[in-house]
Amino acid sequence: MLWLLRLALVCCAVWVLPVYGMVEANSAPAADLMAIKGIGPATSQKMLEARAQAPFSDWSDLVRRVKGVGAKTAIKMSDSGLRVNGHAWPTGQVSGTRPVPLAVPAAPAAPAAAAQRPPAPPHLPAAPRWNPH
């Protein structure tokens, strides 16, 4: 009988969701969370348990504290209308944290003699010549 009640709540949430458009992760009931693509009963329960300890501060906090929710899933949830503190997933980011710049190893300094080009062989011109005829 409980499953029937949950089904009815989910159906109502699916009909009401387009009217409001957004679901807040820190305050939405389980039925509203399950109306978001990518959130089922298990994920909804994990989100409720995590936010009972403390509200989610941002998307990276949600991804870190809710097991099974990674960056790809969070992006899908955000695209479907889930918000954390009123914010969608930050655009241009792959994860919830600040992007880490790639470290490029510095090339060893070339000696001054290696940086100069050797002279052209005497049987070849030093530079190609343009012949207009």
CATH of the domain at 42: 1.10.150.320
Residue span of the structural domain in which 45 resides = 22-90
User: 127 in a domain, yes or no?
Assistant: no
pTM: 0.55
Residue 44's pLDDT band (cuts 50, 70, 90): very high
Tell me the torsion sign for CA atoms 39, 45, 50, 52: positive
Tell me the torsion sign for CA atoms 52, 53, 57, 59: negative
User: 101 in a domain, yes or no?
Assistant: no
For residue 107, pLDDT beyond 70: no
Domains: count for the chain:
1
Query: Rounded mean pLDDT of 88-97?
Result: 66
Q: Which residue has the higher pLDDT, 72 or 12?
A: 72
Structure tokens at 64: 């870190």
pLDDT, averaged across the chain: 76
User: 11 in a domain, yes or no?
Assistant: no
User: 78 in a domain, yes or no?
Assistant: yes
Q: At residue 5, what is the residue type? A: L
Of 5, 3, 53, 8, nearest to 26 by C-alpha is 53
What is the DSSP annotation of the chain? -HHHHHHHHHHHHHHHHHHH--EETTT--HHHHHTSTT--HHHHHHHHHHHHHS---SHHHHHHHSTT--HHHHHHHHHTTEEBTTBPPPTT-SSSSPPPPPPPPPPPPPPHHHHSPPPPPTTS-SS------
